[in-house]
Chain A
Amino acid sequence: MKHPRDPAAPGRVAAALLALVILWPLAVVGEFRPWILFEAQNLRVMGGFLAAFLPPASGSEFLAYLGRATLETLAIASAGMALAFVLAVPLAMATTQALSISRLGPGAGRRRGEWLRAALRMLLVVLRGLPELVWALLFVRVFGLGPAAGVLALGLTYGGMLAKVYAEILESGDSRPARALLEAGGSRLQALCYGLLPGAAQELTSYTVYRWECAVRASVVMGFVGAGGLGQLMDQSMRMLNGGEAASILLTFLLLVLAADALSGLLRRQLGDGAARAGALAVGPRALAWLLLLGSALLASYVWLDLGLAALLSRAALASMADYFRAFFPLDLSSGWLAKVAWGSLETVAISALGTLLAALAGLLLALPASGRYGQGLEQLTRFLLNALRSVPELVWATLMALAAGLGPFAGILALALHTSGVLGRLFAEALQNAPPRPRDALLEAGAPSAAAFLYGTLPEVSAQLIAYSLYRWEMNIRMAAILGFVGAGGLGQLLYVELSLFHYAQASTVIAAMLVLSVAVDAGSAWLRRWLAAPGA
């Protein structure tokens, strides 16, 4: 063999061609035109807006508004979580295999039990398959502008998520104690409290706290569809191009998200410590204090928000609600509308794919200084930049980018890329810091330039992890891309927003169905991809 060839080369060429064949149409669908950013008119609008950022607005009247909105945001998150918890506990108990009585034996009513569980699981898929902002958009039309729609939307979506994860956590532990209690004639609640909770309580609480942190981030943007909180204030400031106010609100986002991050981390660490030194008491004085604090915070949230829940449950309100939801059926399945929805779905996929790809590239570039390769000063600076990027929600980035690049899917791509590069940059930096240093050091000691030492010594060690992170993020971004259209950034969201504004409910429900299908397909697809990546020999 005089000239051996690289056997991997044909595969690489094919993969590169395939990537091109897929990315090119996506770029066309996503209207990927970066030069638009540098057109004189867009530069002028954005430049004027950014110039007004300094100084941030600090009038006492505005600050009072800002404080109220911040409290409202926290209250929406907490009240929404409480509602979600109340929904999730019975649903989780009903759907988890670990508490099934009819499976014992199997006893009578086994078939019926299975059907019921399947139906409830479908309900959960619908609840969490639609982004909370879509629920909020729907509820605002029933309950009017204000926090009630936000609380309900969070409650439903997060209720679905919590129920699914609770059920999974209960199933993943040792189910024999609960089974023994059920076989001895105990009720489901007794089996839960005496058989399952002792083993699973810590994980359940930890996940709930993490979800609360997510709820804070979600409730920040609820206002963009009129459901109260900071988002509503931001929406107004952006519409009026008031840069100073926008700057103050963005700073508040940053503080709020970082504080929620820190508090949730602290609570979860404490949980770990508490479990390590578990005493004889099931509920220690410390835990009791936390519970009291939590309870009063929730009570305060409901009082503060003044949701008027009683009025919502009146016969007249319920009837009008039923009328409203009945208007969504039957779905508009005419071929013309289906084609439009299909195009919107394609646009959504394009936005998420290109946005995530850009974010992965930018995240890697930012992760290099953030992992401390170029000294402490740059490390701290980039870490701050990454935190700032990820603490501004995608929807807020989308409104900003709609100014910079005009309405349309390209603004959505940029928005996803900005937020996600903050998230991925942080994860990538951690991966780089944890990579074994010796291959790179050995190359440096053999005189390799530092860039080459990184490419040959560090990147091969972390590339699989970086790809896994990016794929996971892409999965989340497809859901996010579906709602960026609410602020004019293309995709299914734009269709839904427009149709709802025109009271075209049948058309809107087709779009909602498409969102559900997309969400379920992404779930299945990513699960398959993960199995494939984890399989040996892949």
Chain B
Amino acid sequence: MFRLHDVGLTHGNGFVALRGVAMAVQAGEQLAIVGPSGAGKTTLLRLIGAALRPSRGSIDLHGDDPWTLSAAELRRLRARIGVAHQAPPLPLRQRVVTAVLAGRLGQWPWWKGIASLAYPVDIVGARAALARLDLGERIFDRCDRLSGGQLQRVGIARVLYQQAQLVLADEPVSALDPALALHTVQVLSSDAAARGATLVASLHAVDLALSCFPRIVGMRDGRIAFDRPVAEVDETLLSALYATEGGGLPLLAGEPATPALPLAAGGPRRGTCWR
């Protein structure tokens, strides 16, 4: 699906965000990226999504280096990539239905995008995507009437509606309570699995990553610290990853008192979202 060759990124102010990152992901794979804040998770996702150009190394996406493509080809490539953002980039005065339908603007002919502003062209499709996240009733509300968590789920509904072959999720459930976060990641994961799409998610909550994804990438200081199947990820590895954070691993419940939920032996099956 995509492959990074020794990729590095240095920002204009000299800050090195990524160095020597190499990874290969097959079509249909699902993996989670974990690591402390500032480790470079968001930057890595933006590089994979062809939103940011690496300053070193090269990226092979769907068999092409996106930065050698023509503008039209790059646009077609991007239309096949869906991104769920931590802070959903939705205009607050837009209606939910319009925000969701905007997911397919890259695939629609131009006139359809304009027609949809006058009357939403695919209410059924938008409603189906929203319903999977329990937001079907809010379809005709304006975005500024929604809470932060609801807005984040509208952003995910847009990605579901886009039906992208590569889904990148950057802390997609950071504003949701634990039960809803789990449900939402399950929806993303099962949707990708059903369509054979690739899913890469950066997650703050380690337990959520371990319980839902078969492959875990740990990042620290702009490098990949480890990249293993979930079964081979143990507490020592994670403790080293989060060494400076203090107060234990960041978990979904936000309470370190929870006895290391998915890490305990005999707990729910790992890497499958308890399905």
Interface of A with B (CB < 8 Å)? 3-9, 12, 438-439, 441-449, 451-453, 455-458, 460-461, 463-464
Whether B139 is near chain A, meaning CB under 8 Å from some CB there, is yes
- Given contacts A3-B124, A5-B123, A460-B94, could you give 7 more A-B pairs where the C-beta distance is less than 8 Å? A9-B119, A446-B78, A447-B78, A452-B102, A455-B113, A456-B91, A456-B105
Could you tell me how many residues of chain B have their Cβ less than 8 Å away from some Cβ of chain A? 43
Question: When the two chains form the complex, which single residue of B82, B110, B124 contacts A449, counting CB atoms closer than 8 Å?
Answer: B110
CB within 8 Å of A: which B77-98 residues: 77-83, 85, 87, 89-95, 97-98
- Map CB proximity to A onto B36-80 as digits: 1 under 8 Å, 0 otherwise: 000000000000011100000000000000000000000111111
- Quick check: A8 and B51 within 8 Å, CB to CB? no
Q: Which residues of B contact A6 (CB under 8 A)?
A: 97, 119-120, 123, 140
Q: Which residues of A contact B107 (CB under 8 A)?
A: 447
- Quick check: A456 and B93 within 8 Å, CB to CB? no
Q: Which residues of A contact B117 (CB under 8 A)?
A: 455-456
Q: Which residues of A contact B218 (CB under 8 A)?
A: none
CB < 8 Å A-B pair total: 99
Whether B103 is near chain A, meaning CB under 8 Å from some CB there, is yes
Q: How far is the CB of A355 from chain B (nearest CB, A)?
A: 26
Q: How far is the CB of B118 from chain A (nearest CB, A)?
A: 7
Q: How far is the CB of A527 from chain B (nearest CB, A)?
A: 24
Q: How far is the CB of B222 from chain A (nearest CB, A)?
A: 22
Measured CA separation A457–B80 after assembly (Å): 19
Q: How far is the CB of A463 from chain B (nearest CB, A)?
A: 7
- Quick check: A464 and B89 within 8 Å, CB to CB? no
Whether B106 is near chain A, meaning CB under 8 Å from some CB there, is yes
- Nearest chain-A residue to B99 (Cβ)? A456
Whether B223 is near chain A, meaning CB under 8 Å from some CB there, is no
Q: How far is the CB of A301 from chain B (nearest CB, A)?
A: 49
- Quick check: B75 and A449 within 8 Å, CB to CB? yes
Whether B253 is near chain A, meaning CB under 8 Å from some CB there, is no
- Nearest chain-B residue to A449 (Cβ)? B110
Which 3 residue pairs are nearest across A and B when measured between Cβ atoms?
A447-B106, A447-B79, A447-B78
Measured CA separation A442–B82 after assembly (Å): 10
- Quick check: A446 and B106 within 8 Å, CB to CB? yes
Measured CA separation A439–B103 after assembly (Å): 12
Question: When the two chains form the complex, which single residue of B81, B95, B124 contacts A446, counting CB atoms closer than 8 Å?
Answer: B81
- Quick check: A449 and B127 within 8 Å, CB to CB? no
Question: When the two chains form the complex, which single residue of B49, B75, B102, B140 contacts A8, counting CB atoms closer than 8 Å?
Answer: B140
- Map CB proximity to A onto B199-215 as digits: 1 under 8 Å, 0 otherwise: 00000000000000000
The SS class assigned to the A binding surface is helix
Assuming the contacts A443-B102, A446-B162, A460-B91, asked whether A452 and B83 have C-beta atoms less than 8 A apart, the reply is no
- Nearest chain-B residue to A441 (Cβ)? B89
Measured CA separation A445–B95 after assembly (Å): 21
- Quick check: B49 and A451 within 8 Å, CB to CB? no
Measured CA separation A448–B79 after assembly (Å): 7
- Quick check: A442 and B89 within 8 Å, CB to CB? yes
Whether B243 is near chain A, meaning CB under 8 Å from some CB there, is no
- Nearest chain-A residue to B52 (Cβ)? A445
- Quick check: B91 and A446 within 8 Å, CB to CB? no
Question: When the two chains form the complex, which single residue of A438, A452, A460 contacts B93, counting CB atoms closer than 8 Å?
Answer: A460
- Quick check: B139 and A4 within 8 Å, CB to CB? yes
Whether B114 is near chain A, meaning CB under 8 Å from some CB there, is yes
- Quick check: B114 and A447 within 8 Å, CB to CB? no
Q: How far is the CB of B123 from chain A (nearest CB, A)?
A: 5
Q: Which residues of A contact B162 (CB under 8 A)?
A: 446
Q: Which residues of B contact A453 (CB under 8 A)?
A: 105
- Nearest chain-B residue to A8 (Cβ)? B140
Assuming the contacts A5-B123, A439-B91, A446-B162, asked whether A452 and B49 have C-beta atoms less than 8 A apart, the reply is no
Measured CA separation A458–B117 after assembly (Å): 14
- Quick check: B124 and A456 within 8 Å, CB to CB? no
Q: How far is the CB of B116 from chain A (nearest CB, A)?
A: 9
Measured CA separation A463–B94 after assembly (Å): 11
Q: Which residues of B contact A451 (CB under 8 A)?
A: 110, 113
Q: How far is the CB of B151 from chain A (nearest CB, A)?
A: 12
- Nearest chain-B residue to A3 (Cβ)? B124
A-B contact pairs, 26 of them (CB 8 A): A3-B123, A4-B127, A5-B123, A6-B140, A9-B119, A439-B89, A442-B85, A445-B51, A445-B81, A445-B83, A446-B82, A446-B103, A446-B162, A446-B164, A447-B77, A448-B102, A455-B113, A455-B114, A456-B91, A456-B94, A456-B98, A456-B113, A460-B91, A460-B94, A463-B93, A464-B93
Measured CA separation A443–B158 after assembly (Å): 11
- Map CB proximity to A onto B114-140 as digits: 1 under 8 Å, 0 otherwise: 100111100110010000000000011
- Quick check: B102 and A456 within 8 Å, CB to CB? yes
- Quick check: B89 and A446 within 8 Å, CB to CB? no
- Nearest chain-A residue to B110 (Cβ)? A449
Q: Which residues of B contact A3 (CB under 8 A)?
A: 123-124
- Nearest chain-B residue to A457 (Cβ)? B91
Q: How far is the CB of A465 from chain B (nearest CB, A)?
A: 11
Assuming the contacts A4-B127, A6-B120, A455-B117, asked whether A448 and B93 have C-beta atoms less than 8 A apart, the reply is no
Q: How far is the CB of A64 from chain B (nearest CB, A)?
A: 55
Measured CA separation A458–B102 after assembly (Å): 13
Assuming the contacts A442-B89, A451-B110, asked whether A7 and B105 have C-beta atoms less than 8 A apart, the reply is no
Q: How far is the CB of B112 from chain A (nearest CB, A)?
A: 9
Measured CA separation A457–B50 after assembly (Å): 19
Q: Which residues of B contact A439 (CB under 8 A)?
A: 89-91
Question: When the two chains form the complex, which single residue of A12, A438, A452 contacts B110, counting CB atoms closer than 8 Å?
Answer: A452
Measured CA separation A439–B49 after assembly (Å): 16
Q: Which residues of A contact B78 (CB under 8 A)?
A: 444-447
